[in-house]
């Protein structure tokens, strides 16, 4: 089974996806991580397949808005969502187009929760299942994961690996 993981953001968003991709490869899946091109080298170091997405997210995260978001840690989810829209909004259409291309040969899509609207559109257009993950929950508690933690479970053996 060929899986595409669609991720963007800071290294804190990408690193868990690299670990997930590596684990899935060890379990026998073919994995491609569709992530911003500025992370391609890091992904390749971990021997996970990469499909570079156009747009320099690290540069955007280094901006004043990005630094303020990281300093506050997203304590207010509404403010964090607005800040992410400001940071990622200008490049998200291009990234979504690239993610669509990365998924053309995939049997399933794994998508970060923040990009799930795009992931759903891609999965629906390509008629493949999608699993939403949230490796960096916006609203973590001891009792409950983030609201988007996985919303679909129709991935067969992949479901058993993840849960």
**Which of 71, 145, 150, 137 has its CA nearest to residue 110?**
150
Contacts for 145 with CB less than 8 Å, ≥ 6 apart: 134, 137
User: Given this model, what pLDDT does residue 136 score?
Assistant: 62
Mean pLDDT over 81-109 rounds to: 86
Query: Which helix (H) or strand (E) covers residue 68, if one does?
Result: helix 64-72
User: Given this model, what pLDDT does residue 82 score?
Assistant: 76
Answer yes or no: pTM beyond 0.85: no
pLDDT tens digit sequence for 105-137: 999 999 998 788 899 999 999 999 999 998 765
- On the question of pLDDT at 81 being above 60, the answer is yes
Mean pLDDT over 1-17 rounds to: 91
Q: Which domains does the chain have, with CATH numbers?
A: 2-162 (3.40.50.2000)
User: Given this model, what pLDDT does residue 78 score?
Assistant: 76
User: Given this model, what pLDDT does residue 160 score?
Assistant: 44
- CA dist., res. 19 & res. 67, Å (int): 25
For residue 139, name the pLDDT band (cuts at 50, 70, 90): low
């Amino acid at each position: 089974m060929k899986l595409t993981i669609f991720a963007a953001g800071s290294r804190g968003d990408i690193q868990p996806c690299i670990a997930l991709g590596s684990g899935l490869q060890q379990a026998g899946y073919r994995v491609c991580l569709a992530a911003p091109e500025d992370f391609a080298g890091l992904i390749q170091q971990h021997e996970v397949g990469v499909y570079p997405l156009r747009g320099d997210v690290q540069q955007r995260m280094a901006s004043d808005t990005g630094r303020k978001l990281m300093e506050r840690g997203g304590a207010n989810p509404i403010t964090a969502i607005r800040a992410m829209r400001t940071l990622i909004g200008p490049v998200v259409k291009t990234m979504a187009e690239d993610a669509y291309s990365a998924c053309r040969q995939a049997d399933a899509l794994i998508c970060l929760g923040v990009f799930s609207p795009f992931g759903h559109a891609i999965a629906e257009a390509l008629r493949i299942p999608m699993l939403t993950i949230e490796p960096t929950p916006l609203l973590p508690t001891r009792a409950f994961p983030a609201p988007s933690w996985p919303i679909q479970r129709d991935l067969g053996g992949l479901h058993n690996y993840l849960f």
